[in-house]
Amino acid sequence: MKLNLLQKQTSRREMLRGSATLAGSAFLAHLFPASSVRASALSYAQQPSSSADLLASMRAKFNAAPLKTQKLADNVTLLSGPGGSVLVLDGPDGKLVVDTFVAPAWPRLKEALDGLGSAPVKYVIDTHWHFDHTDNNAHLHATGATVLAHENTTKRMSEPHDLPVLYRGADGALASLHFDPSPAEALPQQTFATSYQLRANGETLALQHVAPAHTDSDIYVHFQNTNLISMGDLFFNGMYPYIDPGTGGKITGNIAACDEILSLADNDTKLVAGHGPLGNKADLTRFRDMLVTSRDRVEKLKSAGISAQEAVAEKPFADLDSIWGNGIINGGQWVQIVYLTL
């Protein structure tokens, strides 16, 4: 499935329209295997008939992943699978949970949390606003947890979002992936502007907002005693990332966030990626260097007056695609994401 964005240099309004289309296509890449997306192999019978159907299918696709448990410290557990990574700090002060998977994973998430001990969930921390990180806020809030996030997470979750997707239904019209504003019970009950600190279960957690990067709502969570940093979608380990141009994402900001976290990390620091396996400083350095290379190559093309679609045809990442292009985002999509987020 080809992305038909920015055939020529565009006005700001056209750029924003292209941003929404790209956002939708990147969400679609979550839903269908990259080979199917690239081959345009979907028949009308396979295509969801409405935005609600598509979103349900996306959530089901995420939920098909097995939920895996990995002990990172005596009282810190990484849950991974149906929507990325969830981190749990357990102890007598109550559980602290970072991110919450997609909605259909709730029974398995609850079972996994209950299996870690009898203490209730005290806090839920959202690393940013996207649905695969916030879908189960309301369930956890209903159990008594306080949802904590950056103030822009509340702002974005409170807004409707319409993301066109690049397949055509039987009537030939482009579908639109629509997000209604989240219900009040799913919104963070506590927010901060720059930084926040929590102490619980013998651990100090430093929450830090970064300049617009993956979105404008990103934070990282530094478990200072455990020497662990939960990065949310500031880090896609071993794959091209999605940077959301529709809600403020900037590749330069993502690079700056990586630099900031690399300055905090040593060779023993565990780095939890929003998507991909548990990483370390060397993994994040490789990811950061890929971002810099990507920015520099596309910036050169864009400065020369080449459109995004023409930049794709140049294949500027041909030497990178075999390493980084096998995840959520393929090489052609990544060219356009970088172009839109410069």
Digit-coded pLDDT (tens) for 46-87: 444 566 777 888 899 899 999 999 999 999 999 999 999 999
Q: How far apart are CA 82 and CA 240, in angstroms?
A: 19
CB 327 within 8 A of CB 275: yes
User: Which single residue is written with the structure tokens 């939708």?
Assistant: 24
User: Which residues neighbour 265 within 8 Å (Cβ) at sequence distance 6 or greater?
Assistant: 229, 271, 280, 281, 284
- Distance of alpha carbon 296 from alpha carbon 290, whole angstroms: 10
- Whether 254 and 338 have beta carbons less than 8 Å apart is answered as no
User: Model's pTM, two decimal places?
Assistant: 0.86
Name the 3-class secondary structure at 29. helix
Check residue 295 and report its DSSP letter.
H
- Whether 93 has a pLDDT exceeding 50, the answer reads yes
- Tens-digit pLDDT profile for residues 127-176: 999 999 999 999 999 999 999 999 999 999 999 987 644 333 333 344 55
- Given this model, what pLDDT does residue 46 score? 43
Interaxial angle between packed helices 331-341 and 251-264, expressed in degrees from 0 to 180 and rounded to the nearest 10: 90
- Is the pLDDT score of 112 beyond 60? yes
Q: Which of 332, 249, 324, 329 is nearest to 287 (CA)?
A: 324
Top-confidence residue, 179 or 42: 179
pLDDT computed for residue 44 by the predictor: 29
* 270: number of Cβ within 10 Å: 20
- In this prediction, residue 57 carries a pLDDT of 86
pLDDT higher than threshold 90 for residue 226: yes
Structure tokens given for 221: 């969570």
Q: What does the DSSP assignment read for 265-319? A: --TT-EEE-SBSS-B-HHHHHHHHHHHHHHHHHHHHHHHTT--HHHHHHH-TTTT
The residues, ordered by sequence, that sit 6+ positions from 12 with a Cβ below 8 Å of its Cβ are: none
Confidence band, pLDDT 50/70/90 cuts, at residue 2: very low
H-helix or E-strand spanning residue 86:
strand 84-89
Q: To which H or E segment does residue 32 belong?
A: none
Residue with tokens 């822009």: 152
Q: Would you place residue 7 in the very low, low, confident or very high pLDDT band (cuts 50, 70, 90)? A: very low
Q: What Cα–Cα distance (Å) separates residue 191 from each residue in 196, 232, 248?
A: 9, 17, 19
Q: Which of 221, 225, 247 is nearest to 235 (CA)?
A: 221
Contact present, 137 and 187 (Cβ < 8 Å) = yes
